[in-house]
Structure 1
């Protein structure tokens, strides 16, 4: 799937880059070519302007423009009078120019491996001119009806050809670079998608694995009850209690999966309001007093008045998750300590216990979904492996941070900004 997607992204990126490069190169070439020929045309028009100037004289002496350009005059009979030196005269020039007598726009033509820029001079009326004696000995008078201004542009054409070669090489190099850049961009674009896909696949696999156990237990105990219809409810209390226990665990797991699924799709929004975090902590902790008394756990709670903007229901869920974890992994006659205070900008919540601790290898992964590194932390404790993942999401949604330290004791520290916008 990702290979086909990468190929499509590669093709799309390469096509966009290549088309952009080609269009840009074409525009550059056309711009330089247009400006170059415009300057040639302006120069040619300036050099031939003397011929177009009005005069009351019936006859005018026409001189050669300059060595780089020349005029070709045409009489009414179609005879040509090129104003250039004899050694530069070539019948092929006149023959080709004769084909462009009706052309009005300047154009570049090729004549025997040379390139010329030709411009038709517009004459309002025919002119009688005296041809130069340097070309026509003794002088000659003729009536001109049209004229061509011609200039050699071999150097300009050569420059444009070199430019075209450079652009061609640039396009080839750019095409190779485009493919490499497109491959890099495609890989970069697919990396978060691949990571998200792998996480989703892992999440589905883990969820299926976690759901399989309670479903199997419920199925096995239900079959056991149906195989003994003659027994009383009291006699079947053990399998019935197992069904009830596993159904509760499965209900809790499904609720947590739904919470995380909504969190991933940003469908869950916090209802922010000004709350007293110390009261939320005290109210949530009271629910655990009976369980702590059963395990003879010493519970110490130190709270200071802390007002902040937060979602009361989600913060209660956070505190319940942290206290439930501490109670679950703290042995009898252990100790749990809760601190709620504030500093200059944050509300600080610390839940510390004297439980079994967390190994250094497991610490970086404790917020991963379904992670169970330590064999002492397994599904027999009634957990789902999703509690700390939800706790982290709640904290980050409040733009806060959560961290864990574990040595002689295990402490979870949560810092929540007193006044902040919603996190991502």
Structure 2
């Protein structure tokens, strides 16, 4: 994907440098340079995800005349946009682990403030695993909606369109809209009344099945009372920027990566069908003076505005393709309710155009949902692996003063 080159360059550079200075004292300047580079990469990656009109920095303005923004072809909250944001997250996570772990004296993790911040970060990772699991189920539901919409598209392609085709399309679209309209508290995603819990103890990640289109539950079931909104709130509750001397030490990358983790999980919950989103916060606090956070704040503002504008904050969410699908389905059902044979030429052309647009939405969903599911699973397993690696380091250096959730 688009960010992997800079990731590899960064990891190679920091690995070489750490090997060179690990036996030397006074490597503080190199560490500061590593932190600065990490912040720059975070800022660049999320700036690329902003809609072009939101890029107001002088550098972005200077580049706009010659280089098109990578996000310009990917509408905010579309499937292709989410594939980019997950790629950005995976790259940031790899660089974060390099900054935090490579060539590092593990005893530093047992000293303030890391003895508190690292357990908090690991706890956020556990909560993020459950969000990933819920999102995997939500994407599966979106695939079900896509299949229903495709039935309607196929029926409406018939020429001349007759009563039988209209009835078939109406039945599929009514099923689609009914599923979308389900209240989060009562909805069961049309499949199972059980929810699944993604992470129970250290080293447990559930069953792996990487066959395309076959996504088994990541682990075992829990009560239906699990809430995505409350999970995000819990992840952001103690997210506090480091102050004083902590702002130039390892506390800073831990805070940056925690922010990135919470933000990415928040966007997924806001956009993709997910259990219990009532009360989802539209913002979590980020200091606006932090340069690396400006693009994340800009994205948060725009997504928060979209969430506030959406009157029905039910199960369907803000995913761009799903929003278009819902709007087109409502219009086509209205046509079906008033259908009379033969159809007027003007009305037939309008329905054909809407059917073609719905078909294009279905194509994008068919092409993008399975790869997006696979990326969510990669995020899940990356978090499991990284968390295990950090816990192994903590085991070697002794117990932390703060409890670590296993």
How does the TM-score come out when normalised to structure 2? 0.22
1 or 2, which has the higher helix percentage?
2
1 or 2, which has the higher strand percentage?
1
Larger Rg: 1
Structure with larger RCO (C-alpha < 8 A, sep 6+) = 2
